Amino acid sequence: MISGDGFPVEPWQVRETDLELSRLAQTESLFALSNGHIGLRGNLDEGEPHGIPGTYLNSFYEVRPLPYAEAGFGYPEDGQTIVNITNGKVIRLLVDDEPFDVRYGDLLEHERVLDLRAGTLNRRARWRSPAGKQVQVTSTRLVSLTQRSVAAIEYTVEAVDEFALITVQSELVANEDLPDDSRDPRVSAVLRKPLEPLHHEVTEEGALLLHRTKLSKLSVAAAMDHLVEVPGRVEVDTIARENLARTTVLCGLRPGQRLRIVKYLAYGWSSLRSRPALQDQVAGALAGARYTGWEGLLGAQRDYLDEFWDCADVEVEGDPDSQQAVRFGLFHVLQASARAERRAIAGKGLTGPGYDGHAFWDTEGFVLPVLTYTMPGAAADALRWRASILDLARKRAEQLDLAGAAFPWRTIHGEECSAYWPAGTAAWHVNADIAMAFERYRTVTGDNSLDAECGLSVLVETARLWMSLGHHDRHGVWHLDGVTGPDEYTAVARDNVFTNLMAAANLRAAANTCTRHAEAAHAMGVTTEETAAWRDAADSANIPYDKELGVHPQCEGFTTLREWDFNSNAVYPLLLHEPYVRLYPAQVVKQPDLVLAMQWQSHAFNAQQKARNVDYYERRTVRDSSLSACTQAVMCAEVGHLELAHAYTKEAAMVDLRDLHTNTRDGLHMASLAGAWTALVGGFGGLRDDEHLLSLNPHLPEGISRLTFGLRWRNFRLRAVVDHSEVTYLLRDGPDGELTIRHAGDDL
């Protein structure tokens, strides 16, 4: 647990007031900085001690074989793992000849602050060396949201009580040693020295290292430059070797004098570009950073975030924990996506090696709704990435003897990397989740251009996949067999309600999109007979219902499975303590599968069904998935369990700030961070869009006195202000014309 006085609850920052080495790995994730292209874990400046070193570039990965005790046809042969690339964060300090290391001497003060408005990680330390000399060390780190390839660090050393000889060693380090692998499936495979050196050189103010992965053959360049300011004489020297470049700054400081170093970093990678081109790319990025200067980078960062918060901010009065947490979540969701630019948004973003750096359905299901309503350009880029791997999805479907396109359950580059069929390939719903994200983007933004650009192809090919997977029985009812819904503890089932409803929505959306883009659809070979078959399958999809209990079984027969003994089997997560042979035949739910169906396909259930379903599944859901709490918060709020919804909201919001799943060390949970917004705006704000309307129905729990949130809807910007007595909608700006809001079932 990350808690206590060392982490005060503050509305616009996450502050650590003392350093506990036992939680370094967790705080490295919390204090990570990223722009969607570069990711820097919040390691200490001096590099040691550390929990998990981490510097990442989006979609930079290495290939590794997937071992099987018993291989099967259609199993993926290779996995992909994110690579810890060249670390440019390291700035070592020696006072006289003694290294500044928090494990030695006396750490008199230590504070780190993640500033959510400035977009920086600030550190302040006062240290007394074993020889008794005191120094004050301050640093500010940023990953630029405006200059995609740039990160920068301002590092200052001040002598406190007597003269000191100061040596600073600023480094680029490749092929760092990493902690041992773990048996936890949520943790990544450890790659040992994955980078082959290609080139190294000393530049005018720094150095450059160029490497390549051994199997994926991706090349990466990392470069650093320095600005050095100090009173009196200073010596600066740089060396470069295959896996290390070091700029050494040597000076003497009297009490009160300061050494200031600004370190500019630039990163670039490619699978195609030549070595000179990559070198020129990072050299150009460094030139841009120097031209902008440190103060310019800080100002641009603040301006970017001011614009984001102006629309995206959520104000939660009466609940300071949720207030801090929702802003923390929004900040990291923004960091994961802002400059991803047609690359994947991974389940952990670029905050750690968890899940091997893979992207899942989490992106379209949980992260993109937030971006679509707050930063639609980033959502569009994420959807373009999905469309860019469509050919690989077609090949995967062909390999499995299916029509259309089968998008991967987990991937970095686009190939399927899931080695476990029941909780991977059989979770076909990822295809409908992607289709839903395209539909939501069009609905919320009013922008049809993305459909014409790439959405039509994705919708058509996913519709064709569903027709290949499903079948009509002799009574004309359409079924999907052998599927796994969001609940991975009930696998390879028949007629999973979530999957059937989502597939039906996918089929209808594809048919409607073909009507809007008739010529393009015709060019893809779509006929009126094919779209009619899509609509027929959607209309006749089987949605199981248990009349005796008055609830929807999660899948056919689910309510007849044996009940789980929660008293005797309650060591969580169950996937690490129970065999699947015990989980699959039981009514125990990893993630609220049917409950999520009621959120995303709200119109398919009436109020009584929602209430009964929520009550039934709440008792059977263990929430071993970090995706669970936000979904339960939304639906508990809708059916009137407001205090329970509030508890679930706080659980979703605190997954990483309190390390509730004990795996924050491996990176932050992007979907749950986004889920804090969803729980507040979708739960207590009542936001729904599945009927292609802006629908809101706010209700607050006792623990929240006022909720204020902003949304973008079809080029309008609006703000909702909710308290226990009234709801006010403020139209801030937008195009000419009327904006219709469905409030509590009535159009305004």
The catalytic residues are 488
The percentage of the chain sitting over the pLDDT mark of 90, rounded to a whole number, equals 92
Q: What is the DSSP string of 215-253?
A: SS--EEEEEEEEEEE-SS-EEEEEEE-SSEEEEEEEEEE
Mean pLDDT, residues 545-567 taken together: 96
Q: Which of 225, 372, 304 is nearest to 674 (CA)?
A: 372
Q: What is the mean pLDDT of the segment spanning 8-24?
A: 95
DSSP-derived pairing of the beta strands 746-747 and 742-743: antiparallel
Q: With the CA atoms of 190, 193, 194 and 197 taken in that order, what torsion angle do they form, in degrees rounded to the nearest 10?
A: 170
| Residue 737 pLDDT greater than 70, yes or no | yes
CB atoms inside a 10 Å sphere around CB 366: 26
Cis peptide, bond prior to residue 49, ω within 30 of zero? yes
Averaged pLDDT score across all residues of the chain: 96
CA-derived radius of gyration, the chain = 26
pTM higher than 0.95 for the full model?
A: yes
What's the pLDDT band for 12 if we cut at 50, 70, 90?
very high
Q: In 103-243, which ranges are E strands?
A: 106-115, 120-128, 134-143, 150-159, 164-173, 195-202, 206-213, 219-229, 234-240
Please give the single-letter amino acid code of residue 136: Q
pLDDT per position as a tens digit, 264-320:
999 999 999 999 999 999 999 999 999 999 999 999 999 999 999 999 999 999 999
Q: Are 412 and 358 a contacting pair, CB within 8 Å? A: yes
Lookup: tokens for 480: 């999907």
What is the pLDDT at residue 183? 60
**pLDDT of res. 732:** 95
Q: Is 638 helix (H, G, I), strand (E, B) or coil?
A: helix
pLDDT in tens, 386-436: 999 999 999 999 999 999 999 999 999 999 999 889 989 999 999 999 999
Please tell me the distance from the alpha carbon of residue 16 to that of residue 618, in angstroms, as a whole number.
35
Report pLDDT for 186.
Answer: 56
Under the banding of pLDDT at 50, 70 and 90, the label for residue 185 is low
- Per-residue pLDDT tens for 470-484? 999 999 999 999 999
Q: What's the pLDDT at 179?
A: 80
Q: How far apart are CA 5 and CA 620, in angstroms?
A: 35
The predicted pLDDT at position 4 comes to 67
Q: What are the CA-CA distances from residue 278 to residues 206, 209, 239, 273, 737 (Å)?
A: 17, 11, 20, 7, 49
Q: Is the pLDDT of residue 30 over 80?
A: yes
Q: What angle do CA 285, 289, 295 make, to 5 degrees?
A: 165
The two structure tokens encoding residue 136:
């004050």
